[in-house]
Structures are given as C-alpha cells and as structure tokens.
Chain A
Amino acid sequence: MDISTQTTDASPPTPPPTEAERKRAARGATRPGDRIFLGLTRGSGILLLVIMAAMAVFLTYRASLAISKDHGNFLTTFEWNTNLNPPVFGIAVLAFGTVVSSIVAMVLAVPIAVAIALFLTHYAPRKLSGPIAYVIDLLAAVPSIVYGLWGALILVPHMQGLYGWLNDYFGWTGILSWEGGAPRAMLTVGILLAIMILPIITNVSREVFRQVPQMHEEAALALGATRWEVVRMAVLPFGRSGVISASMLGLGRALGETMAVATVLSPSYDIQASLLDPGGGTFAQNIASKFGEATEQGRDALIASGLVLFVITLVVNGAARAIIARRKEYSGANA
C-alpha cells in the first residue's frame, strides 16, 4: 500500500522528501492521529507475539519445576502419582494414547471427509449440496462437550455389538481383540474424534475441490473420461495438498481434544495392545481428569505434560502451514 507515497509525491513544487520522511510517509505515520493509530494496531500485533512467548516461557518454567522433582523418568514411566513425595510420573502412556486415538480418528475421518467433500462438489444434486454444506458448517460449531456427552451416553452402549463382531472376526490380530470390558477404549475414542473432526476436514476439502479450475475438468471430460476418472485425473491431484493440510488441521484438533476423550475413555496408566480393551489415556484427557485432585506439585506435572502437547500441536500445525504455503506458490505458477 504505497498510496501515501503517491500523495506526497503529487505536489511537485515542494522539495523532495528526505529518506526518513519517505519511510514515515510510506507507513502513513505523518500526523499524530496516524502515529497513535499505527501504534495501537502494531501494539496489538506485538501483544500477540508477547502472549505466545509468555506461554512458552511460563509453561516451560512450571514444567521444569515439576520435572526436576520427578523421581520417575518423565518420558518413560508408566505412572502418574504426583501427590506422592517424591512424585513419580511419566508421559509414555499419554503420548501413546494421544497418538493412537488420533491415528484411529484420522484413518476413519479422512477418507470419509474426502468422500463427502467430493459428494458435495461433484456428485450431489445441486439443490441438495448447498443446504448439506450449510448443516456441516453448523456441526463444526457444536461444542466438544456435547459430543462428549453424546459419545458417553449414546455411542458407548452402541459400540458393544461392533466390538463383539470385531473380536469374533479380527480378534486374532491382537489389536482388535476384546476381553469384554465396557467399550470405553481407544477405538471408541477414535471414532468419536473422527466424528468431531469430520466437519472440519470436509469443509476445508470442499473449498479446495471447489477451486479446481473448470478447464481441467473439461479437459478430462473431453478426453472421454467418466465422472470418477475426471475426479482422479483433475480433482484429486489438484486438491491433494489442500486435503493434506485439512487433515493436519483435523489432526491438531484430535490431538488436543479434551472433554470428548475425558467423558468416553476409562483411563489407566498402562498401554493396551488392543484398541478394544479399555485403558490408556491422552495428554488432554489426563489433565482434565487429574486436575481436580492435584496439589500444586501435581498441577505443575500436568503443566509439564501440557507443554509436550503444546509442542506436538505446534509441529503438526507448522507442517500444515508449510504445505499450504507450498501449495500457494504452486498454484500461482499455474495461474
């Protein structure tokens, strides 16, 4: 926006402005009003950076207090006894549970979300796709605690049959065997998370698929491609990076989801080989469940585990942004 430079230059008789004046003019900060306003807006931006920095610093500080007192190994101990003296706790179970539940959620949600996005952009009758997209938009706004309540009171009892069936036919794999406990296990958590992130992934993918240039689809059609072949030749390759970043956003949500996991899972501090046997935990769920009984020392330990979650989500989101940025360059080259 070099508009203000132009206004300065538009008066030829005055001597050419100095370098400093030019710079200030370019920012539009020549009058008190302008200076104050610029200060306010830039101050807000800087405040955001300060908050992020403070978040990293204070979380690390409290976490270091906790870890220095830890008599277990913070990374490998299968225990969370923070009210003992000395405390013994480790994040191994939580890291495992967080990763597993998120993987289950992604495996279920991504294909279905992509299919729904394709359904909305390329298969559904036009009259139907608008309202459906609108409803999916609204579903993305349903609070997670409501999903959690639904999951605990409706989904869990309905999982009984599926668990039995999976155990009958796939029990031999070890990861889908079931000892008959309440189906409050990682698979149920994964399914609930999948349902929760489905609207987000669908919405972003739909946007990407809608942006596929008409001319690429027509090129495929004119070669004698069926609808599915058009999707494979023109739509999916174009939308691939968009779908990946949509999935990463979904993954970010799944990793940090608290209430839905806390209401559905029955936690323990060991690792279950089978997805169907209850137990395990996630970072966020553990924080929510252990917080009530935690002393200050326990809270610091929870903060330490939260710091790990913070770092993981930063990495995932950073990766998603990097992919989106690459995609921008790439589509610019083709514009």
Chain B
Amino acid sequence: MSTAAVSHKRRSTLRGATLPKWSPWAIAGGALAVAIGIGMGAGLDSKVQWGLIAAVLFLLFTYGIAAKVEGRRQAKDRIATSLVWVAFLLAVIPLVSLVWVTVSRGVKVLDGYFLTHSMGVVADSEPGGGVYAAIIGSLEQVGLATLIGAPIGILTAIYLVEYGRGNLARAVTFFVDVMTGIPSIVAGLFILSLMLIFDMQPFGFAGSLALAILMMPVVVRSTEEMLKLVPNELREASLALGVPKWRTILKVVLPTSIGGITTGVMLAIARIAGETAPVLLLVFGNPFINNNPFEGAQASLPLYIYQQYSQSAGANAAYDRAWAASLTLIAFVMILNLAARGIARWKAPKSGR
C-alpha cells in the first residue's frame, strides 16, 4: 500500500536538500561584489585588501548558506573544498608571477650577443656585456663536479643495493640521508676551510668539489631506487649461468636500470647548476673569460645573477642582465629536467619490483 502520496508525506532520510551546482560561483560573485562595495565605501585602495575581504566573505557565505540549507556536515565539507581551492589559487599566483616575470623581462636583452660576450670592462650601469664567461665557468664547474660526484654516487648505490649489509652499509645509508640535508653554503665552507689551510686563492675546481659533495647524496638516492626496481629474477638468471657477480651487475643490472640512473644524474646536475652559495665562496666570479678551472677566479651563471643584482646599485641595465641570465639558467635547468623525465619515461623498466 505504498503509494507515491504516502511516501512523499514521510520525511525522506535519503533526500538531503542540496545547493545547485552553480551556487559556489554565485556565492563567489556575491562575495566579490560586497567586498568591492566595502572597499570603495571604506576607501581601501589596496586591491590585495579587496581580495582578502572577498575571500573571507566567500568562506563565510558558503558556510552560512550551506549550513542553513544542507546542514552542518555538508557546510563543513564545502568549506574544506573551498579552502583547498583557495590555497591552490593562492600558491599559483607567486609561482606564475615568477615564471612570467623571468620570461618577460629576461627576453629583453637575451640574444646571441648576450650569450657570446662577457662583461669585460662593461660598467654595471652600462648596457651591453653578456654571460659567455659565466656559461663557460658554469659548464666547467658543473661538468667537473659531475665527473667526480656521479661515479662515486653510483658506485655507492651499487654497494648499498648489491652488497650492502652490516654496519658499514647502515652507516653509509644514514650519512647519505644526513648529507642530503646539508645546506649548500656549508659544503662551500668545508672546501673553504681546506683552502684556508693550504692558503689557496679561489678557482673553479674548488667550486666543483663543493658541488660534487652536494650532488653525491642525490645520485646515491635515485640510483638506489632504480637498482631496487631491477627484478631479482634477472640477477638470479645471470648468476645461475655462471656469470660472476661483478659482470652480472655490469652487464645485466646496470643496463636494465641505466635509463633511471641517467635521469637521476641529470636531475642532480640540474640541482647543482643553480647553486650560488658555494660558488660565491670558492670561485669568486670574474668579468673576464677564464677557461682554466684549475687556476684563477672564474665566473658562473648563478653567481652572475647575484652579482648583477647586488653590485649594480639599482642600475636598470644590470637588472636586465640579471633577468636575462636568470632566464638562461632556468632554461638550462628546465631542459635538463624535461630531458631527464623524457628519458625516464622512455627507458622505464617494463616490469617493476
């Protein structure tokens, strides 16, 4: 005897009153309108204040309306959703601004001339000059750091994954973790303390040593992850054929994970290429081209940015150069990143774990 009429009289337990789909937009619009009203009325000139008032009103309105119509639990759910969206949008603003400003101001002076000339005797306030010496310096320092840091990192990772047991492996694992957290300036100070003892002047290779220290733990970690992905069956199959362990590692394990290892090394290079602090202490900077990383101060791209900014005393030409160098550096780092991720996707081992 359950006719539609009866079931309609009984209060449904399933049917919650729901706000329509467009309600968040409507509430946002309302909040914005009221905020603008308040802002104009009270004579607040900062748009940031208008925005903050609008955001707060939006949250209040959402909670109030939802609590009234849908109930407290739904209202809380809506508040959480709104907050999460607001947090996201809030974070996007500076990050978008960073990229936009770097690109838009960087392209002003970034051209072939800028990339192929150095500062030489160009005064800070003058236009002209470029990053050639800095690029050479960065490439040499980062290249040498990679030559030192990558092999040590990869070998250590092989030790930890393929041989590592006992106290030594545990100690290495722990200190690799610790090393990951070392501030770059501390690594710089370490090399500096050695240079003070041996009474040496700044030169490119000193920077390479500090960068290599920063690079090692990153490479160890990523290589370890990749080696662990190689299925044990592969190792066993090779060993069962009578292949010695070291040849198994070189001929079976490493080729299987080479894509991932390359990716890790490239990401580590991208990281150290942007390090400024150790270079500032150890390489010193140089407006002239110095191709020899083992003698005399060298330039470096991140350091160039800092020096153009800090020694220019507000000269616009120097700021323009700093932005252009930033764009160059970001482009280099991003290309490395994208290439690394590309390799990771292309060479990914098909069977995991």
Q: At the interface, yes or no: B193 with Cβ under 8 Å from chain A?
A: yes
Pick the contact of B239: A3, A33, A310 (CB < 8 A): A3
Q: Decide if B183 touches A258 in the complex (CB within 8 Å).
A: yes
Give the complex CA separation of A252 and B337 in angstroms.
23
Pick the contact of B172: A48, A143, A164 (CB < 8 A): A48
> With A142-B98, A146-B330 in contact, do A34 and B246 touch (Cβ < 8 Å)?
yes
> With A33-B246, A48-B172, A112-B91 in contact, do A226 and B190 touch (Cβ < 8 Å)?
no
**1/0 per residue B152-187: CB within 8 Å of A?**
110110111011100011011011111111111111
**1/0 per residue B240-282: CB within 8 Å of A?**
1010111101100000000000000001001101111100110
Q: At the interface, yes or no: A184 with Cβ under 8 Å from chain B?
A: no
Contacts of A162 in B (CB 8 A): 46, 48
Contacts of B49 in A (CB 8 A): 161, 165
Q: Decide if A145 touches B302 in the complex (CB within 8 Å).
A: yes
Binds A, one of B2-10, B25-33, B70-78, B288-296: B70-78
B164 to chain A, nearest CB (A): 8
Binds B, one of A76-84, A173-181, A272-280, A284-292: A284-292
Q: At the interface, yes or no: B339 with Cβ under 8 Å from chain A?
A: no
Contacts of A145 in B (CB 8 A): 274, 276, 302, 305-306, 326, 329
Contacts of B97 in A (CB 8 A): 150, 154
Q: Which residue of B lies closest to A146 (CB)?
A: B326
> With A141-B334, A145-B306, A288-B277 in contact, do A313 and B186 touch (Cβ < 8 Å)?
yes
Taking each of B83, B90, B183, which has the highest tally of chain A beta carbons within 10 Å of its own beta carbon? Answer: B183
Taking each of A30, A36, A313, which has the highest tally of chain B beta carbons within 10 Å of its own beta carbon? Answer: A313
With an 8 Å Cβ cutoff, the count of chain B residues facing the other chain is 100
Pick the contact of B244: A34, A45, A228, A249 (CB < 8 A): A34
B93 to chain A, nearest CB (A): 10
Binds B, one of A52-60, A67-75, A210-218: A52-60
Q: Decide if A263 touches B178 in the complex (CB within 8 Å).
A: no
Q: Decide if A141 touches B306 in the complex (CB within 8 Å).
A: no
Binds B, one of A89-97, A298-306, A326-334: A298-306
> With A165-B46, A284-B277 in contact, do A143 and B302 touch (Cβ < 8 Å)?
yes
Pick the contact of A40: B101, B155, B305 (CB < 8 A): B155
Give the complex CA separation of A112 and B244 in angstroms.
52
Q: Decide if B245 touches A28 in the complex (CB within 8 Å).
A: yes
Q: Decide if B246 touches A154 in the complex (CB within 8 Å).
A: no
Q: Which residue of B lies closest to A314 (CB)?
A: B178
Q: Decide if B171 touches A49 in the complex (CB within 8 Å).
A: yes
Q: At the interface, yes or no: A149 with Cβ under 8 Å from chain B?
A: yes
Q: Which residue of A lies closest to B81 (CB)?
A: A123
> With A118-B84, A287-B189 in contact, do A313 and B182 touch (Cβ < 8 Å)?
yes
Contacts of A284 in B (CB 8 A): 183, 185, 277
Q: Decide if B186 touches A28 in the complex (CB within 8 Å).
A: no
Contacts of A46 in B (CB 8 A): 168, 172
Q: At the interface, yes or no: A255 with Cβ under 8 Å from chain B?
A: yes
Q: At the interface, yes or no: A240 with Cβ under 8 Å from chain B?
A: no
B266 to chain A, nearest CB (A): 11
Q: Which residue of B lies closest to A227 (CB)?
A: B77
Give the complex CA separation of A115 and B182 in angstroms.
28
Contacts of A36 in B (CB 8 A): 246
Report B182-224 residues with CB < 8 Å from chain A CB.
182-187, 189-190, 192-194, 196-197, 213, 216-217, 220
> With A258-B185, A299-B192, A317-B180 in contact, do A226 and B77 touch (Cβ < 8 Å)?
yes
Q: Decide if A1 touches B235 in the complex (CB within 8 Å).
A: yes
Q: Which residue of B lies closest to A60 (CB)?
A: B193
Pick the contact of B192: A195, A198, A303 (CB < 8 A): A303
Pick the contact of B159: A42, A51, A113, A146 (CB < 8 A): A42
Contacts of A49 in B (CB 8 A): 171-172, 175
Q: At the interface, yes or no: B58 with Cβ under 8 Å from chain A?
A: no
Q: Decide if B159 touches A44 in the complex (CB within 8 Å).
A: yes
Q: At the interface, yes or no: A316 with Cβ under 8 Å from chain B?
A: yes
**1/0 per residue B329-353: CB within 8 Å of A?**
1100110011000000000000000
Q: Decide if B277 touches A259 in the complex (CB within 8 Å).
A: yes
Give the complex CA separation of A258 and B91 in angstroms.
22
Q: At the interface, yes or no: A47 with Cβ under 8 Å from chain B?
A: yes
Contacts of A226 in B (CB 8 A): 73-74, 76-77
Give the complex CA separation of A51 and B191 in angstroms.
11
Q: Decide if B95 touches A139 in the complex (CB within 8 Å).
A: yes
Contacts of A187 in B (CB 8 A): none
Contacts of A22 in B (CB 8 A): none
Q: At the interface, yes or no: A296 with Cβ under 8 Å from chain B?
A: yes
Q: Decide if B84 touches A52 in the complex (CB within 8 Å).
A: no
Q: Which residue of B lies closest to A202 (CB)?
A: B91
Q: At the interface, yes or no: A256 with Cβ under 8 Å from chain B?
A: yes
Pick the contact of B306: A153, A259, A321 (CB < 8 A): A259
A101 to chain B, nearest CB (A): 14
B344 to chain A, nearest CB (A): 12
Q: Decide if A303 touches B193 in the complex (CB within 8 Å).
A: yes
Q: Which residue of A lies closest to B83 (CB)?
A: A115
Contacts of A198 in B (CB 8 A): 91, 95
Instruction: Please provide the 3 A-B residue pairs with the shortest distance between their CB atoms, ordered closest to farther.
Output: A256-B183, A143-B274, A317-B181
Enumerate chain A interface residues (CB-CB to B < 8 A): 1, 3-4, 7, 27-28, 30-31, 33-34, 36-38, 40-49, 51-52, 54-55, 58-59, 61-62, 111-113, 115-116, 118-119, 123-124, 137-139, 141-150, 152-155, 161-162, 164-165, 195, 198, 226-229, 231, 249, 252, 255-259, 262-263, 284, 287-288, 291, 296, 299-300, 302-303, 306-307, 309-310, 313-314, 316-318, 320-321
- Beyond the given A115-B84, A195-B98, please list 4 additional residue pairs across the A-B interface where CB-CB is below 8 A: A37-B250, A144-B276, A284-B185, A309-B186
13 chain-A/chain-B pairs, Cβ below 8 angstroms: A7-B242, A45-B172, A51-B213, A55-B213, A111-B87, A146-B274, A149-B309, A226-B77, A258-B184, A284-B183, A288-B185, A288-B277, A310-B186
